[in-house]
Chains A and B, each alone.
Chain A
């Protein structure tokens, strides 16, 4: 087990390096000069431009700049953006916000999705099942920005029961954005749970468990659901990263100062170091989530062992 984890972590190093190189190149190949972008519609002062270009190594070849950057990152220094603001500071302000949002969204989709899926599977073809099927179909087909704006308008403006925008001093203002963010994945998880549960409920060992005289709840939770969880856990693991990286639209609608908006601004203003650093951390989140998922397989299904 321990050796497996170490091997996976070692594998993560080339993935991380590859991802940063790729993104670094992409950002710096974008047309437009970041120093000119600082001056807006005006013409940047030539001497200041020259100093800044020198300071941020913009005259050096790409591979050299990448080396400066990555050697900084390896020593824990993410560098600064072109206004001189440390990228670590930007990330420490924005990541927690997005992490909170993603965590709430993750909890919503996991809890609601699995519970709804299980009930739908048990009452297959009955009223509740149809309600679940229909509502998830609706959630999957409505884009996030439509759902976000409609809920904002109905709950926020018309009924005035929900906040329209985020308030840093009030975490409950994240609930509605989190529900919106989780909506599509929530629908997938519900349907995934439903199908998976229906399959395992037909399995021989479940029939055996029932025949042994175990209580229904024990049969469902301990024997059926636990085995049905494997595809769901896989999806949840990948989705955690997607929730963080995909929050751009939701963050914009509800004015949440998270990484989505920061990333958008940074791309727009050609703040290369900010973009690469944020994406690097996102890649880390993906890698970690995938590792945890793989380890969870062994917990859920004793037949799976890592050596």
Chain B
């Protein structure tokens, strides 16, 4: 760790404290400029770092530094740009021909070929490898053979992937999916070198990729050192010498280290510090919308929430929530009141639009009227459920209930059902135990409107925990996926979203922002849509 040199002063400083206390600690002792190395806070990834097995931000951070896939999302606009891919062609939105750019190499010298991709995808999809992101390959023909719904695999590879030559391969999808190439910026789709398959343990201990950084050392539970790879030929060469990721179990400690000058970058400002962060950091604090939305989902599998007229009750409840006040008071502006079911990080072209309209605007009188018109709250009361072990969930649930109770003026009809742990909450959510609205946090895997709608509200969708089902909605999503033109597809998705506004299967609460703070040594710090710092662009000086 770079900090070692600084900490070694401890013994000397302790004796010198009475004389010149301020002369110790702080101060930049590391080299700046193009070879400057920055330190950044990190969390220990739960699963081993494998592209198809990493489904959380911390492991994703590393993958983003050491891998480049066919496409990469522009950190600013979210547009999926060809990276390793030279072109991805299709005539029917179902069969794609992918041509790779020449010259890409893994950091061990092995060239990136079509086979590097197909091997990686087949590995990720295969049920025996137990990869968490396997469902991402489920659109490809032959997925059922390598990953049946139950029982052992019937094939080693997917029929839909065919290598034509070193730089070309074709992909056959089961159904038309026009925006499929846009999903290829997701980390599960990166290529893998041969050594990943031949010496898996060694690879896990020190992952090898084709990105702008290489892993110098990795100590589980304490940190990872990444260094700029000078042989990298991509356009986004790292503008610093490397990044030392340091595991912090408590983001408060990381923040304190940042303030004391021992750490350069913190990408998660603790809630308790939000009041001070402007004072402490000034303009070295970033707070911008991410691809995360929090909603309250109604249990539409319960008849009392799904009979005719209850859509008015659901709409009324949405209008009884004072989002402006709650995001300001409880979240200090790190949440933005929601106006639709996606995220502002998509941008207007990506499909973000104020579709919820009045239904997401605080109007207590109208809320009361709608709820009464719809037959009142089922049983005269409503109970909100969330886990309360993280994320100020208890505080905002209380605030939402107060807001609803004040609007309805019927006493405490809204109550909260706090669940002690996330695991218990998930257990009850996935087994459809909740009888009232429950929290749902959704972080998109790729900046596509499709990812905000289909998994959550399509009949039988993978994360449709409220069991919302609407033929019209499903038809519009199917239509959107068939469109050849992306802009038209977005329009179809927005039309589908309009149905959510009418039916209100889930109340949009707020968009969660990504936050970060950094030291004076750094400049050009930015977060991408996934709230991950864009490390390769940071300069140290």
Contacts and interface: CB of A to CB of B under 8 A. Distances in A.
Interface string B498-534: 0000000000000000000000000000000000000
Contact of B8 (A90, A93, A172): A172
B426 interface: yes
Interface string B127-154: 1101110110000000000011111000
Interface stretch (B234-242, B248-256, B346-354, B392-400): B248-256
A46 B422 CA distance: 20
B463 A83 contact: no
Choose among B6, B10, B257, B463 the residue with the greatest number of A CB atoms under 10 Å from its CB: B10
A37 interface: yes
Given A31-B424, A50-B150, A93-B221, A160 B260 contact: yes
A47 B150 contact: yes
Interface stretch (A130-138, A200-208, A254-262): A254-262
A123 interface: no
B10 A175 contact: yes
A168 B246 CA distance: 11
Choose among A37, A160, A173 the residue with the greatest number of B CB atoms under 10 Å from its CB: A160
A52 B252 CA distance: 35
Interface string A221-254: 0000000000000000000000000000001111
A257 B247 contact: yes
A195 interface: no
Given A46-B149, A51-B130, A270-B423, A165 B253 contact: yes
Contacts of A167: 1, 3-4, 7
Contacts of A33: 423, 426-427
A172 B6 CA distance: 11
Interface string B1-36: 101101110110110010001101110000000000
Given A48-B130, A163-B7, A170-B8, A42 B463 contact: yes
Contacts, number: 177
A46 B150 contact: yes
Nearest to A260: B249
B8 A32 contact: no
A164 B260 contact: yes
A32 B431 CA distance: 11
A13 interface: no
Contacts of A37: 422-423, 426
A153 interface: yes
Contacts of A41: 426, 441-443, 463
Nearest to B150: A47
22 contacts: A30-B421, A33-B426, A37-B423, A39-B55, A40-B46, A41-B426, A42-B462, A46-B149, A47-B150, A48-B134, A52-B130, A83-B47, A90-B221, A93-B221, A152-B256, A163-B10, A165-B248, A167-B3, A168-B219, A170-B3, A175-B10, A252-B249
